[in-house]
Amino acid sequence: MSTDITTSVDPAVRPPASGAWREGDDPGRRLFLDLEGPLRLEVGGELPQVRLAYETWGDLRVDAAGRSNAVLVLHALTGDSHVAGPLGPGHKSPGWWDALIGPGRALDTDHWFVVAPNVVGGCQGTTGPASTGPDGRTWGGRFPFVTVRDSVRAETELADALGVDRWALVVGGSMGGMRALEWAAMEPERVERLLLLASPAAASADQIAWAAPQLAAIRADPGWRGGDYHDLPDGAGPHAGLGVARRIAHLSYRSGYELGTRFGRDPQDGEDPLHGGRYAVESYLDHHAEKLVRRFDAASYVRLTELMNAHDVGRGRGGVAAGLARVTARTIVGGVSSDRIYPLEQQAELAAGIPNAAELRVIDSPYGHDGFLIETGAVAAMVAELLKD
């Protein structure tokens, strides 16, 4: 098979030092909330000022019994609050779950009020390494270690500000699933229904090991500068390291079967691997690396990868089983048959340990971990099942 990987990225244009959204950029659909007071961090210390970027669709309604129509959607590592909508000013990528949100879709915005915040430590409007600190300097390498629980604490303030006492549904996949699980464990009375996709109760040694060379690649890049590169001229950031990290991660997100059937051993069009050219699969990884460098921030990638490594619903709660037992929401857990980074046994543990969880739903897909983003029909069916009454 011959494979032509096209890209909208012009390789002749030097990437910015960081692909983060910065103060003064077009906000697009983003809304912002400045938290009242500092955010106390799980590992100690605080973030003295936190701004959350978020997007909403639909209108909030609360019935006589106090039940809301609010749905919280939580993004994965390199996602953001732009769950639905086109690429355009303020948004370097189209909505990552666009097929699920909107009139007549699984999360019908004529009925449901959908909220999607950018994670604390992120780079698309929420306070993170690319943000300005209280001293007027970019946080950069000074940005503290944050955990999933820290982001959930910030998101509870967002819920309060929006007037949401209880979410009708909290849904997330991968890192978003970690955040969704912590919402249900930390604030069980505020989560009525829960959908966890392609995520674990705790990060495993294998997942931490996959992350290690990614972090090492970024930190070994001369452009890293200890995380203090954001205000340098275009092209001065740790692009090579972030690109290597993305290549490694993307391999874990897809299955060997898909890569084999899609690319085989084919050369990239016009190139000969026996004379310095690339195989098509190499071009594919180069394309995804180039895209991420232009829309994400390396220091956020480091901090959020560390956040995922630290994920453990049982920490300080007597172990995983005790952590899962805190969840009272009616729950569906979904996993992807070909996921090699968050395999099905981890979702089986969630389904078995959460008291009100349905039997594990398996998304049969060749796309690996990314199946939870691609197989929107299967995800929509799970959403519909949870929201049918």
Query: Which fold would CATH assign to domain 31-387?
Result: Rossmann fold (3.40.50)
Q: What is the CA radius of gyration of the chain?
A: 20
Closest Cα to residue 191, out of 36, 308, 34, 357? Answer: 357
Contact 120, 52 (CB under 8 A): yes
Residue 182 to residue 310: CA distance in whole angstroms: 12
Q: Two tokens at 55?
A: 């997007």
Residue with the two structure tokens 């874990």:
252
* Strand order across the beta sheet in which 330-336 lies: 31-34, 51-57, 113-117, 70-74, 169-173, 193-197, 330-336, 361-363
pTM above 0.75, yes or no: yes
| CB-based contact 57:109 (threshold 8 Å) | yes
Q: Are 41 and 304 contacting, i.e. CB atoms less than 8 angstroms apart?
A: no
pLDDT of amino acid 11: 56
- The residues spanned by each domain of the chain are 31-387
Point out the residues of the chain with pLDDT beneath 70: 1-12
Active site residues: 174, 339, 369
Give pLDDT, residue 66.
81
Tell me which residue has tokens 């990884």.
Answer: 285
Q: How many CB atoms lie within 10 A of CB 292?
A: 23
d(CA 168, CA 107): 11
pLDDT value at residue 13: 76
Between CA 265 and CA 136 the distance in angstroms is: 51
A 10 A CB-CB count for 4 gives: 9
CA distance 354 to 323: 9
CA–CA distance, 151 with 173 (Å, rounded to integer): 16
Per-residue confidence (pLDDT) for residue 214, from 0 to 100:
98
CA dihedral defined by 202, 206, 212, 214, rounded to 10 degrees?
Answer: -100
Residue from 114, 119, 120 nearest 169 by CA: 114
Q: What integer pLDDT is reported at residue 389 of this predicted model?
A: 74
Report whether 354 contacts 327 (CB < 8 A): yes
- The helix/strand/coil state of 298 is helix
Query: Strand 39-40 vs strand 46-47: parallel, antiparallel, or unpaired?
Result: antiparallel
Strands 113-117 and 193-197: unpaired
Q: How many CA atoms lie within 13 A of 322 on its CB side?
A: 6
DSSP 186-225: H-GGGBSEEEEES--SB--HHHHHHHHHHHHHHHHSTT-G
